[in-house]
Structure 1
Amino acid sequence: LGDPEVPIDTNHLERALRVIPMGRKNWLFCWSEVGAKHVGIIQSLLTTCRLHQVNPYTYLVDVLQRVALHPARDVEELTPRVWKERFAANPLRSDLDHAH
């Protein structure tokens, strides 16, 4: 509350995350608690991409290829917000993208 730059409400975040409870029946097929946890992580990541106007497909294709070579200490660079600034202009592409 002391920082005037931080919005007092989080309605935009709550609306963005609404897709998660809307898909509740789909979560029945996660097979395990661990599977459901991973679905939640992916949903949160996709929502974060949308909030930062990052194409989720482009982001995931790039990050899944980049993560094996990227230093673990710099993992924050692979979050959608920082990725947009550093890598979005020249993302890694899938071989499937070149086939068309």
Structure 2
Amino acid sequence: MWMRDTCQRMSSKNPIAQAMSYFLRRPDMFTRFLHDGRICLTNNAAERALRGIALGRKAWLFARSDRGGERAAAMYSLIVTARLNLVDPKAWLADVLVLINDMPNPRLHELLPWHWKTLHQSNNTIEA
């Protein structure tokens, strides 16, 4: 294989040789998109999703404690999950805050955005 031969002739400290060596240790990871057309060739979607975090970093600097930072991260994660499931985060959060107090622990998973969306779609169908 051309890459293996070229990599062996280069110094191991050469950045190109290091990159080639990295690829050669994991060829299946770098060629998976050839076998599964659902895999995106770029990480643009992930970078766009993280853009809000980068922009808010300065505002979140003063979370006052590690626990406050963890809570902010959990809330942000829930909001992004709702968006990824095409659920309005404000409507979902408002409804969940009303329902969560009366919901038994074994059923809390029903309040997750993808379950909530299904429940509201079926309720909207009944009302329509």
Any unmatched runs of 5+ in structure 1?
92-100
Q: CA deviation at 1:74?
A: 1.3
**TM (normalized to structure 1)?**
0.73
Percent of pairs with identical residues: 38
Is 2:73 the counterpart of 1:40? yes
CA shift in 2, pair 1:24/1:86, >3 Å: same
Which one of 47, 64, 84 corresponds to residue 31 of structure 1? 64
Coordinate RMSD, CA, aligned = 2.7
Bigger proportion of residues as helix:
2
Which consecutive aligned stretches of 4+ in structure 1 deviate over 6 angstroms post-superposition? none
**TM (normalized to structure 2)?**
0.58
Greater gyration radius = 2
Which one of 100, 111, 114 corresponds to residue 78 of structure 1? 111
Any unmatched runs of 5+ in structure 2?
1-28, 30-35
Which one of 99, 112, 116 corresponds to residue 66 of structure 1? 99
Question: Quick one: higher RCO (CA 8 Å, sep 6+), 1 or 2?
Answer: 1
